[in-house]
Amino acid sequence: MKRFLYSVLVLLLCTSCESLLDLEPKNGVTFEHYFATEQDLEALVTQMHGNLRTALTMVTKQELIGLRVDVVKQGSEMNKIRGLNTDYFLNHSTQQQWRAYYNTLAIVDLFFDNYKKAKDVAPERVRFYCGQGEFVKAMCYFYLVRMWGDAVITKGSNYIDKYAKSPASVVLDTAIHAALQAYDMLPKYGNLKNSNNKALTSKQYGCKGSVAALLAHLYAWKAHVVGGQEDLKESEKWASKLIEEKYRDEVGGYTLAANPEEVCSEVMHRKSAESIFELEINYQDVSSYSTFLPAYSMIGAPVVKTEEKMKIKSKDLGITIAEVNSLFPVGDARREAYFYKLDDPEWQEAGLAYLYKWRYARYGSSVAGEVWLSGMDVNRVIFRLADMYLLRAECRVKMDDRVGAEADLNVIRQRAGVEMWPAKNDSGDLKYDIFREREKELLYEGHRYYDVVRNGYWKTELQGNFSELSVDDVKDGALYMPVPQTAFSQNDLMIQNAFWASKMK
């Protein structure tokens, strides 16, 4: 019964207001009465992670823009997204929303405003729950700052006044502070326990490893926003904690999969040794989270056993066999692992490559025997160890540590079975070749748009109107999403960023 009350009260908290950030304090007051035991804290942390999963399983428009494809269906919504159609992005019904992130932060605020009311909770358990709250907070602000740049920083569950945005640098500092707090409070993966002292095996819970990966990305993004070498050093430091053997006792052990085939069959499935942080999707969730992969619309035969091969030609997005061949040189094991039977004439008829990186599908069925796809039987991996190697390589080359950058790059290349850098297919620009390696290794995992922005390649690596953007457009916020219209409700402190304000009619 108590868990039911939690769900009802949280639902009220997150939906009772016309304006997202205009939170009614009465719900928080009602909720206070349930902060009596450790189980109450645990239930709210569980709800926190449930809301975080809801937020992070929503494929963002930026993730779709960044997908490496060369076929986009004309007239489709995807064509408008990837072409930076400003009318589409400003349309109230199709805008990218930040509501889910702030709904999650509302629960985080509620937790921190009330957790001390719980009685007889061991100090180490309080630290664990607080660490989870700090981790969720940091993750939300990380997503907000990459998508919108300047964003609102919440002020607690009892704050009822209007909100203005804070600069992106302040949002980043807020996220970093929360993540550092989380790192101090949380154990490493393998030592996570629930209130009954049973092991928590989900890789969605915050732990030292997932916080270290988040900090590596936060500092790399801050270096892009602020331009500081110190932030690159910090990003390198946190990535190193996940890579180097000497930190294993502190952070936990993460190991690269043996080869790209194992990346697809195990890492992209769930709970592998290479995975650091992933969103937990179970069988009961599949109807609610069926499209949580950025490249979901590209997945068909042979993964989807109910789909004919030629259905690939009607999909909104696709990549030609020729484009795959230009991306992956001969001998790159990722070519055969990530795509299905590229060299088999039976699978070449459409001229398009069949995505095979995510291989496990779920099906529904009727009493009459009808079968249909209900979603993918995988978790969504957000951070993995290969990402850390290549992010560290990026930071190192930006700090003129070419030897270290080349070494990290070649670790990933060696696993894929390709020539070490510099190879005949490389540009010779180490920074750009590291970007290209991230593009290949992390193909369709949701990183590429942010890699493009972080490295300044938006004119050449994105499609449509992106090539027409000026440096001033980018400074004015063209690479961020417009602030959603819902944020302006009853809030005259909210302002649109300069680029998108100039496009409003």
Q: How far is CA 254 from CA 162, 250, 358, in A?
A: 44, 12, 21
Segment 142-190, tens digit of pLDDT: 999 999 999 999 999 999 899 999 999 999 999 999 999 999 999 999 9
Q: Which of 335, 306, 303, 304 is nearest to 319 (CA)?
A: 335
> Would you say residue 399 has pLDDT above 60?
yes
Token duo for residue 387: 């990402």
> Would you say residue 29 has pLDDT above 50?
no
> Would you say residue 410 has pLDDT above 90?
yes
**Where do the H-state alpha helices sit in 352-455?**
385-398, 402-416, 430-441, 448-455
Question: 279 and 49 in contact (C-beta within 8 Å)?
Answer: no
Token duo for residue 359: 């291989």
Predicted pLDDT of residue 364 = 86
HSE-CB of 13 using CA atoms within 13 angstroms: 31
**End-to-end CA, the chain:** 51
Share of the chain above pLDDT 90, in %: 87
Q: What single letter denotes the amino acid at residue 472?
A: D
Quick one: CA dihedral 212, 103, 442, 231, positive or negative? negative
Share of the chain above pLDDT 70, in %: 92
Segment 341-354, tens digit of pLDDT: 999 999 999 999 99
> Would you say residue 22 has pLDDT above 80?
no
pLDDT band at 483; cut points 50, 70, 90: very high
Predicted pLDDT of residue 462 = 98
> Would you say residue 447 has pLDDT above 80?
yes
Give the CA dihedral 191, 197, 198, 204, nearest 10 degrees.
-50
Provide mean pLDDT across the span 75-81.
95
Predicted pLDDT of residue 378 = 95
- pTM recorded for the entire structure: 0.94
Provide mean pLDDT across the span 461-488.
97
Question: How many Å apart are CA 60 and CA 2, to the nearest integer?
Answer: 34
Provide mean pLDDT across the span 30-55.
89
Predicted pLDDT of residue 8 = 35
Question: How many Å apart are CA 407 and CA 435, to the nearest integer?
Answer: 15
Segment 210-268, tens digit of pLDDT: 999 999 999 999 999 999 899 999 999 999 999 999 999 999 999 999 999 999 999 99
Tokens 């990218």: give the residue.
96
CB atoms closer than 10 angstroms to residue 487: 24
Provide mean pLDDT across the span 25-49.
77
Output Rg (C-alpha) for the chain, integer angstroms: 23
> Would you say residue 6 has pLDDT above 80?
no
Predicted pLDDT of residue 287 = 60
Provide mean pLDDT across the span 387-394.
99
Identify whether 329 is preceded by a cis peptide bond (ω within 30 of 0): no
Question: 163 and 134 in contact (C-beta within 8 Å)?
Answer: no
The pLDDT mean for the chain works out to 92
Question: 481 and 147 in contact (C-beta within 8 Å)?
Answer: yes
Predicted pLDDT of residue 2 = 39
Segment 275-293, tens digit of pLDDT: 999 999 976 665 666 689 9
Provide mean pLDDT across the span 37-64.
96
> Would you say residue 13 has pLDDT above 60?
no
CB atoms closer than 10 angstroms to residue 275: 24
Residue 453 makes CB contacts below 8 A (sequence gap 6+) with 224, 479
Predicted pLDDT of residue 423 = 95
Question: How many Å apart are CA 68 and CA 125, to the nearest integer?
Answer: 44
Question: How many Å apart are CA 297 and CA 157, to the nearest integer?
Answer: 38
pLDDT band at 409; cut points 50, 70, 90: very high
